[in-house]
Structure formats: C-alpha cells, structure tokens
Structure 1
Amino acid sequence: MAKLSFLAGFGAGYVLGARAGRERYEQIRRAYDHAKDDPRVQSVAGTLQAQADAAVKTVKDELRGR
C-alpha cells in the first residue's frame, strides 16, 4: 500500500509542478489508475516491499549489536 501512496504522491507532485493543465492531469490520472490495478505492478511492488522490510530488519539488528 505504501508503494501506491508513493506513486500517488509522485503523480500529484508532478501534476502540481508541471502546470500542464487539466488535460495532462486527466492523462496522468488514467495512467495511475491503470497501473495500480496491474498485477505485474502489484507483484513488483510486493517484492520491493519485502526487500525493504528485510533491509530495515538488518539495519535494526546491526544497530542493536547482533
């Protein structure tokens, strides 16, 4: 879910920063809606989340001296 939030935030930032108008906003929104439901994107996002969780655990263990 965090991955989708990141994508949404990135998309919103781009739209607000680009000042490209309503047409570009709608184009980006359609692309986001399409991508968030794509099983390939979900699979990659899940894999990345698992890797991030493992990295965080490793860093925490290192900081605790294990």
Structure 2
Amino acid sequence: MAKLSFLAGFGAGYVLGSKAGRERYEQIRRAWGQAKENPQLQGLAGMAQARADAVVHSVKTRMGNETPR
C-alpha cells in the first residue's frame, strides 16, 4: 500500500511539475524571441562582435599567424 501511495504521489508530482516546466519554458522562449528583435540589443551584439573580431585579429597578428592590416 505504501508503495502504491508513493507511486501515485510521484506520478502526480511529475505531471504537475512538467506542466509548470513547460509553461516556464514557453515564457522564456517568448521573451528571447522579443529580445532578439530588439534593435538596441542587435546594435550591442554587433558592437560586441566587432570588438571580439578586433581582439582575435590583434592576437593573431602578435602570434605571427596573420599580417597586420
């Protein structure tokens, strides 16, 4: 009897937890989609990418793997 009660409780917890998890996942996914379309965020991402490219180029130049610009 105790084992059956445990399994029933586990099953109910699993179903309720997975429903809450799915709702939260969908909420995060919608927020990410909205953030990706934000022009300010896109501008910041572009600046970060340009800075990262410059750092990589600088390191390659110092290591002798690439000619200076």
TM-score (norm 2): 0.64
Distance 2:63 2:33 in 1: 40
Shift, 1:51, TM fit = 0.1
* Structure 1 portions without partners, runs of 5+: 1-18
Corresponding residue for 1:47? Answer: 47
Larger Rg: 2
Deviation by residue 1:7-65 (Cα, 9 ceiling, x = unmatched):
xxxxxxxxxxxx76101101100010000000000000000000000000000000008
Q: Percent identity?
A: 54
Stretches of 4+ moved more than 4 A in 1? none
Distance 2:22 2:39 in 1: 28
Distance 2:41 2:31 in 1: 12
Greater RCO (Cα-Cα under 8 Å, separation 6 or more):
1
* Structure 2 portions without partners, runs of 5+: 1-17
Corresponding residue for 1:28? Answer: 28
